[in-house]
Amino acid sequence: MTTTNDQSVSDAVTAGSHATESARAGLSNLREGAGGTVDQQRVATVVGAALEGIRAAIRENKVTYEEFDAFKRWLIAVSDTGEWPLFLDVYLEFEVEKVAAESQQGSIGTILGPFWLDGQAQLDTPATLPMRDDEPGTPMILAGQVTSTDGTPLRGATVDIWHTDDEGWYSGFASKPPAGNLRGVVRCDDEGRFEIHTRKPAPYTIPLDGPTGQMTQAAGWSPWRPAHIHLLVAAPGHRTLTSQLFFTGDPYLGNDVASADKPELTLDPQPTGNGDEVRSDRDFVLEPGD
């Protein structure tokens, strides 16, 4: 979503409403919801701290009624465009991920983001992701092995992978790429090895015509995410790793609007000698558990 657009339905509403649907599905299928009981003390502590943070911002900056009304209108627009998942994943998820990472061993991960989709093509390694006949972009191979923290290769491991096309569009959220484009769940071999043929993704701006993008630009912040490949690496009896991989030399590294890039997650793909194809090797270590 690299440009504002002339479509009748805005990019923000398209991406936002699909991200809302996907978040509903993801919250039920991907991560188990919280149990039925509400811990009153926990609510009072966490919600109280969040509210006090906002009240402090009002007090310390002498926020006016005009600004308070603008804030209300903005919150309503976030709901109307379905942008809550986008906004939350850009501006808050990285802090939640840091908390989760404190108790996770094995490979370093990062945020899930709003654009995961359930039910994508199941492929055996070596796999080529679903793509158009004339899919633009640099052909790229991502290969590696999934092991447990004790080094055991993980039979039955899967690599769920999704990323933008060469123009920064996600299938399922933008109208241009067909459904399922550059998404798949790759079954590793008996030694946990995988080899995935795809196209290098492009840097991406959050939708600029919606309230999240407008607030970002109103503050003078960069709306860009560096190019990245999303991954969910899973294996029986192991905690699923949620990660992203970035690329050395990307101009937006270190200035990711979603604060999700980490130096440990950077790839440096090398030419394979087959046309302009490049390849990166990356192993993943999963922690036993569920």
Residue whose CB is less far from ligand DHB, 115 or 247: 115
Listed in sequence order, the residues at least 6 apart from 211 whose beta carbon sits closer than 8 Å to its beta carbon are: 12, 74, 77, 78, 81, 83, 87
The CA R_g of the chain, rounded to the nearest whole Å, is 20
Which among 102, 91, 113, 69 has a CA at the least distance from the CA of 232? 113
Applying CB under 6 A, among 162, 204, 224, 247 the residue interacting with ligand DHB is: 204
Strand 266-267 to strand 241-247: parallel, antiparallel, or no bridges (unpaired)?
Answer: parallel
CA 118, 122, 124, 129 dihedral sign is negative
Which among 196, 192, 190, 187 has a CA at the least distance from the CA of 162? 196
Does 113 participate in binding Fe ion (rule CB under 5 A)? yes
Window of 4-12, 113-121, 144-152, 279-287 that interacts with ligand DHB by CB under 6 A: 113-121
Window of 27-35, 41-49, 111-119, 265-273 that interacts with Fe ion by CB under 5 A: 111-119
Does 113 participate in binding ligand DHB (rule CB under 6 A)? yes
Residue whose CB is less far from ligand DHB, 168 or 184: 168
Residue type, 26: G
Count CB atoms within 10 A of the CB of residue 30. Answer: 16
String marking each residue 10-29 x if it binds ligand DHB according to CB under 6 A: --------------------
Applying CB under 6 A, among 258, 278, 285, 286 the residue interacting with ligand DHB is: 258
Window of 71-79, 86-94, 99-107, 177-185 that interacts with ligand DHB by CB under 6 A: 86-94
Does 173 participate in binding ligand DHB (rule CB under 6 A)? no
| Residues lying near ligand DHB in the complex (CB under 6 A) | 86, 89-90, 113-115, 204, 206, 225, 258
